Copies of this chain bind each other. A is one copy, B any other.
């Protein structure tokens, strides 16, 4: 039984590189030899024990790789193809999938809906920070990489771009919209890019880290508000001449940003939340206009599936966006513990790391 290296959750504050058997391939699966992967903020929640997973699980949900072996029932792919799979791997056949709510896939459950059910890699099944990755429901999830794109060019597609873009998409950004994006970490940066791509004409990024401010402008921000220097609500109202924004995207997951996002909304606007929250939220009465403001608040879990991945890679291939500036550091899989240390402590201006075996 062949072995492979994998980054395994041992206990809170301990993810270690260890050996595991290369997984068996079921009829609907595909085995991917991972060529590049990365670490997500969510992985740090897992590392710290804030988001519970089973001990012994391989972490990671952002794979780029090569098809090593296809399940007996998998059609339409070839071994050796370069592919990605989304962080979320819906089955395609649950009730949730059948009404387009793939991330809340409840395959096998009574009703076909399961909160976060589409998120399997590094959550309910072994993940991508390993030499090999078993992709379930391969025909729903494997997306071939267009010729000419490197691993790093598509590395943000499985999660960061898909999530960030969905902030703009769920906010239904329209041509001419004013959009504020709270926090310009990797996901906020992609939300900024998504808003730009959908036609927003005033994009305001809120951020305090100079390097992120700089990338935010590359990603499409027209204005950057440094919340350490001005009150972001006041400043956004000033920049919009008192109007407020059509869409406010919350990309941090804190009460403070959620509340500010609500307060800068024009009546009838949309707060699109990408944050992963770890505490109850408060909706302030005034920001909520007593419930009479025709407001919309939406949340999103990273959209997955091969068609989503195809479209995101097409954004890259068509030169609409280059996400390579987000990859600030590179590590070998052998050094992943070091990468975790850097990323968890947000040292050295790290945005995203590339991990290669």
Contact = CB atoms under 8 A, between A and B. Distances in A.
B201 A199 contact: no
Nearest to A101: B268
A325 interface: no
Nearest to A315: B201
A275 B266 CA distance: 20
Contact of A115 (B98, B165, B293): B293
A202 interface: yes
A169 interface: yes
A297 B284 CA distance: 15
B111 A202 contact: no
A291 B253 contact: yes
A181 to B, nearest CB: 16
B175 A165 contact: yes
Task: Give the most central of A76, A279, A306, A315: most B CB within 10 Å.
Answer: A76
A105 B241 CA distance: 17
Contacts of A116: 267, 289, 292-293
A285 B295 contact: no
Contact of A299 (B97, B98, B293): B293
Given A98-B305, A277-B291, A292-B115, A175 B311 contact: yes
7 contacts: A91-B139, A98-B305, A104-B294, A113-B244, A116-B289, A116-B293, A201-B317
Contacts of A268: 96, 99, 101, 103-104, 113
Given A253-B291, A298-B295, A299-B293, A175 B198 contact: yes
Interface of A: 26-28, 73, 75-76, 91-93, 95-104, 106-108, 110-117, 137, 139-140, 165, 169, 174-176, 194, 197-199, 201-202, 222, 241-244, 253, 266-268, 273-285, 288-301, 305-308, 310-312, 314-315, 317-318, 320
Contacts of A92: 91-93, 97-98, 140
Given A175-B169, A277-B288, A307 B95 contact: yes
Given A277-B290, A288-B281, A175 B201 contact: no
Q: Which 9 A-B pairs have the closest CB atoms?
A: A176-B311, A92-B92, A104-B267, A101-B268, A111-B243, A93-B140, A98-B307, A92-B93, A201-B318
Contact of A27 (B73, B137, B253, B315): B73
Nearest to A109: B76
Contacts of A288: 277, 281, 299
B282 A281 contact: yes
Given A91-B139, A201-B320, 11 more contacts: A73-B73, A92-B93, A95-B310, A101-B294, A111-B241, A116-B292, A197-B199, A198-B199, A278-B290, A280-B283, A296-B299
